[in-house]
Structure 1
Amino acid sequence: MLDISKYKVHDLTHTLGEHIAGYADEPARKLEVDGWNAKTLTIYSHAGTHMDAPLHFGVSDTTVDELHPSKLMAKAWILDVDIHDASQLIDGKDFEGQLEKVQRGDSILVRTHWAENYNQPNFKSELPRLSEAFCRWCVQKKINMLGVEPLSVANVADLKEVTEIHKILLGGGVTIIEGLMGLDQIQSPSVFLIALPLKIQNGDGAPARVVALEEK
């Protein structure tokens, strides 16, 4: 049995609310009228903190509900990248020797502190992106999950780029987590990562609750 008292639990998930693009809600029931409170939710499948399934870019027919929970709980390394340019392209050299500790089958969380810009106009337009070379390295290393703070691993305004990068990762068996926050609170070099998307039938992706367990 896992002794959770031995860990600091970090919630890496943005709260879904009206400030999140692709999310809306409205009252469905009211306590004073119906006897309970309930809402009707409208959620874009890639709103806020979310995960991508291979179906998202058509690399296979695997949907988000088919991602087995055993694949979504794993050791993850926190890798730091210094962001100094708008729309910076992150390559292997930007990790300054950190990649050597990553073992075959591990997961990676890329810490850029980009989540600090979440409410800023440049959060989407100038997001740091992952290079083709780094993504191919992740596939060769059989990286399990790859998490980033921006809402995409690539420039969403460039269809060619966003398609290529997603196809490399998803086609190579790398599960993508986008829109993370709270990585700045983690002090250890690695954590036990739990990333569970909503189990949506035939889903191309889904919002997820993502937590990291850091040994005290």
Structure 2
Amino acid sequence: MNRIVDLTLTFTQDITGFSKETSKTLETDGWNASTLTFYSHCGTHMDAPIHFNVSKQTIDEIPVTDFVGKAWVIDVRHIDSKGLITPKHISQDVRDKFTAGDSLIFWTGWSQYVNTPKYRDELPRISGALALWCVNNNVKMIGVEPPSVADVNNLAEVTKIHDILLRSVVIIEGLTNIDALLTNCVELIALPLKIGKGDGAPARVIAIETNS
């Protein structure tokens, strides 16, 4: 029987860039409803190439086939604050089994810092060499726990890494619950809201572990 693990942060009022306000109530209007306000890159979310003008492709134009596929979990919890994740952190075992079109999830444990300054300001980052490795090896999706794949306080760096990856790689940021996985190979499904002309969107991300 397959095991399904949710890798998505829960949107609460504590998430920067998100708010939820009462719109209707059962007592007054006959049903409960809310008005939701999102920054397009808050919580667990996906980037579109237009986010950095790598191309004009928007979130609604990315083929849905790019949102599903086999993914390898790379344990890099030993990486320090502000540390760089490089190709050498991908084990030889994963390299031997990796095939073009597979995806990578980088397990840093960083989601434990959500809603703290450290979460945004000291995040471990994807190196330029690793970004190029992902493009050159036809990685489909790259998933990270921090709110970005690069230092958001360094415009040159964050631009460079997104410029490289968004040529061909789907970027998923703000993952959580990776420690609940029992295997380093899963079926990854990451579905962003289909926002017309969107530069990014919140996404529901799950991992499926198969017993085979």
Identify the TM-score tier after normalising by the shorter chain. Answer: over 0.9
User: What is the CA distance between 1:82 and its match in structure 2?
Assistant: 3.3
Question: CA–CA distance in 1 between the matches of 2:14 and 2:158?
Answer: 24
The answer to whether residue 11 in structure 2 is matched with residue 7 in structure 1 is no
CA contact 1:82–1:94 (8 Å) conserved in 2: no
Partner of 1:112: 108
Question: CA–CA distance in 2 between the matches of 1:160 and 1:38?
Answer: 42
1:41-66 CA deviation, whole Å, 9 max, x = no partner?
A: 11000110000000100011110011
Partner of 1:207: 202
Residue correspondence of structure 1 range 174-213 to structure 2 within 5 A? 174-213=169-208
CA contact 1:17–1:23 (8 Å) conserved in 2: yes
Name stretches of at least 5 consecutive residues in structure 2 with no aligned partner. Answer: none
Partner of 1:3: none
Residue correspondence of structure 1 range 35-114 to structure 2 within 5 A? 35-97=30-92, 98-114=94-110
Identity of aligned residues (%): 50
1:174-196 CA deviation, whole Å, 9 max, x = no partner?
A: 00000000111111121011100
1:29 to 1, 24, 44: 24
Partner of 2:132: 136
Question: CA–CA distance in 2 between the matches of 1:139 and 1:30?
Answer: 49
Residue 180 of structure 1: SS of its match in structure 2? coil
Residue 191 of structure 2: SS of its match in structure 1? strand
**Higher mean displacement: 68-77 or 173-182:** 68-77
1:29-83 CA deviation, whole Å, 9 max, x = no partner?
A: 1110000111111100011000000010001111001112222111111111133
1:17 to 2, 6, 12: 12
**Higher mean displacement: 18-27 or 85-94:** 85-94
In the alignment, residue 100 of structure 2 is paired with which amino acid? Answer: R
Question: CA–CA distance in 2 between the matches of 1:100 and 1:153?
Answer: 25
The answer to whether residue 168 in structure 2 is matched with residue 163 in structure 1 is no
User: What is the CA distance between 1:85 and its match in structure 2?
Assistant: 2.2
TM-score, length-scaled by structure 2: 0.95
CA contact 1:78–1:108 (8 Å) conserved in 2: yes
| Number of residues of Structure 1 aligned to a counterpart in Structure 2 | 210
Residue 146 of structure 1: SS of its match in structure 2? strand
CA contact 1:27–1:39 (8 Å) conserved in 2: yes
User: What is the CA distance between 1:84 and its match in structure 2?
Assistant: 4.2
TM-score, length-scaled by structure 1: 0.94
User: What is the CA distance between 1:18 and its match in structure 2?
Assistant: 0.2
**Higher mean displacement: 11-20 or 65-74:** 65-74
CA contact 2:79–2:124 (8 Å) conserved in 1: no
CA RMSD across the alignment: 1.1
User: What is the CA distance between 1:93 and its match in structure 2?
Assistant: 1.6
